[in-house]
Structure 1
Amino acid sequence: MKKLVYVFGGLAAAGAGTYLVIYLYRWQWQRAMLCGVLLLVVEVMLFGLVTLGRLGRIEERLRDTDRRQRELTARQEDALARLRQPSADHEEARFRWLEDPADRTYVFVPVLMVTGVLLSGLAWVVQRIASATARPAERRLAGRLTVLTAPDPVAHDDLEDMPPLIAPPSPRRTARVAAVGLVAVALLGALVVGLADLTQTRDESRNDSAATSVILKVDLRGPDMSAERRSLAALQVWERCRDSTSVPLSHATLGDLQDGVFAGVVRPALTGHDRMRLRGCLEDATLEYAHLTVVGIGDADTDDD
């Protein structure tokens, strides 16, 4: 399910980014802003999904760690209880004679005291003999443990001859990463330069025609679809787009040709770039319940009616 969401999110982001570039090229700023907002929303959604997935995996690992720790603690407690049980049973059975009534007399205590004194003397003799004979054994044990001791500090010159702990990257991998980075930078630069070239305002050669004619069609959506409503919508969009070109359209008239079709005449004639900007402004979705379509746009000579 998550993979399907990622696929649809990636497709939505690619579509929004594509139409963002298209609408910027067509000078349709309202639609470009909508696509940009949609692209931003999709990117935030994908980032949130990835973050939630990472947090979910971290939380699952923490739960597994806690569960394993509890199981380990339980096993340790069980093993500790098993180890302590025999000693507890042995302690319960020790010195039962002390629980007998005090009116009975025993000879066990004096015998035990004399035996303790004799054993202490015997232990002292054994300790003296062992201390006299243990020195050779200690030397042999130290010789056996020599292999486990840390080596002597290595000189600085010897450290330089040792190989590095981290192997340097291979030349092929470095060249491959550098090539991929250069291609990515080149593509990004080409995209930015191309988009800037398509959307910038530039000086063009003057159009020698007398005027430029524009044919519009207005489509309304809603309960009120009268001719007056179409005419008002066409005039609102036309007046708003008169300053969308590089040269303000001070002489621009709009006439009604009936059935939602209007004809506009612009003087002086527009260049190719200004035509694109005027078309994009007219067809941009800025008026509620109304959509304008540029049916045709062309130059009109002085001999044309």
Structure 2
Amino acid sequence: MKPVRCALIGYGAWGSHHARAIVESPQAELVGIAARSEASQAAARGALPGVRVVGDYHELLTDPSIEMVDVVLPSDLHHRVGLDVLRAGKHLLMEKPMAINEAQCDDLIRCAKEQSRLLAVGHEFRLSSLWGKARAMIDEGAIGTPQYALIELWRRPYRLGASGWRYDIQRVGNWILEEPIHFFDLARWYFSGAGNPVSVFARANSKQPDHPELQDNFSAIVNFPGGAYAVISQTLSAFEHHQVVKITGTRGALWASWSGALDRTFHPSFSLKHFDGTDVREIPIEKPTGEVFELVDEINAMAAAIRQGAPLPASGEDGRWSVAMCLRAQESVDSGKPVSFRTS
């Protein structure tokens, strides 16, 4: 298969990992990088001397040989830049969150359809050999019908991001859109057999009385049709990076865990246990798991979708649902009441 010619917009701490993933993918070729700051441009040139580096991403969008663009920018820029990419006739891989509100998500979905371009959203947890194995076992009936899930993260505070954008609520949207969005997506994915979620009740608090919008601790209960529910919980007031997913069903249970010094460590520890109602056994995981590994799989999946028509791991519609779930959770935090999901 001919490698897909790719451009990357954004070369910060996470963007550099996307660049590495594209380079490591046998199905993709990195031919251009757009970075706003001179420091980021210099870093990109030093790391990737054979790749064109520019300051204005529009220069890359005029290159007819570029087929796909990977956007890794602060959240408030996703809508505008994403529309520019699609209108230039390029396939789009958008880092999560897809956008900071549902109207912007709708714009991107509509534009992708109008341009007949693919729109994928970076929910790379779906490609994990660990979290994905849990989904595969659910599909195989290993625990019967899923009834309950706990998705919990214990971690250090967020990085500031370039120019401190992640701590500017006008730019980030809200902190639920940052990392809990992955967990909302996982919950919806694991309970897909039950249907889309129907309501959410959430709580949050902050260590900073003068910045209550910067929520260090967050928990939500997401309700699904038929009585199934998921508990999603995160603290940013801790240390290292430890995530657990526990899922129980009518005939068994799964317990998955992942730990590392940072979220992007290349040397994590991880495990998956299955209880069949009688015995507990350790499930082998086929390869190392973590966001830095799944990025390569995400690029491969995007290339396969472009070249072979393979399904996207997370479509624009999936990305919109994840944003909607986070926004309804924020509404619940603000009101102190459960909030239903709108169906349109």
TM range (shorter): under 0.3
TM-score with structure 1 setting the length: 0.22
- Structure with the higher helix share, 1 or 2: 1
- Structure with the higher strand share, 1 or 2: 2
- Higher Rg of the two aligned structures: 1
TM-score with structure 2 setting the length: 0.20
